[in-house]
Amino acid sequence: MPLCDGGGGMSTPPAPPSGWWNWTGDKSWIGQVTGLPDSTLHAHAGMAILILSALVLRRKPWDWRCWLTVLVIETINEAYDLLQPFYPTDEGNLPASWFDMWNTMLWPTVIMLSFAWLGRRGERRER
């Protein structure tokens, strides 16, 4: 895919180094196989990471450490989308990254903020 080089001419993106992991292609493949749009994949990935981190950390899914794990992994994913020069996509811009971050973090944030409160509320009613 040709790119504008800023001087009015066209250039092609640089070739990735040998052994470079094509995470962009892998994400595209997951979307093609599942038939789900990118925004839905972000929501599902956020929930999957939340549950997996709860299992690995041996914490409740609404523990702040599980939420932080989702945030760190999603931040790394968005930094990759913004900074990788080898596979041009429409994901390499700040508005798209913020949208993906919002989609990924919405339900883990709701779970973190509400489930602990609901549990405490239920315990008070039992007394």
Instruction: Say if residues 50 and 70 touch (Cβ distance below 8 Å).
Output: yes
103's tokens: 């989609």
What value, to the nearest 5°, has the Cα angle with vertex 67 and ends 66 and 72? 95
Answer whether residue 15 is part of any domain: no
Is the residue at 25 inside a domain? no
Report if residue 117 sits inside a domain. yes
pLDDT at residue 120, as a whole number: 80
Tokens of 21: 């992991």
Tens of pLDDT, residue by residue over 77-125, are: 999 888 877 777 777 788 999 999 999 999 999 999 999 888 787 777 7
Domain that holds residue 91: 37-126
Q: What is the pLDDT of residue 57?
A: 98
Per-residue model confidence (pLDDT) at position 1? 45
Looking at the domain assignment, is residue 46 inside a domain?
Answer: yes
Is residue 48 a part of any domain in this protein?
A: yes
Specify if 104 maps to a domain: yes
Instruction: With cut-offs at 50, 70 and 90, classify the pLDDT of residue 26.
Output: confident
Contact 119, 60 (CB under 8 A): no
Residue 13 in domain? no
Q: What is the pLDDT averaged over residues 23-32?
A: 86
Pick the more confident residue, 85 or 45.
45
**Based on the structure, what is the number of domains in the chain?**
1
CA distances from 118 to 6, 27, 124 (A): 55, 35, 10
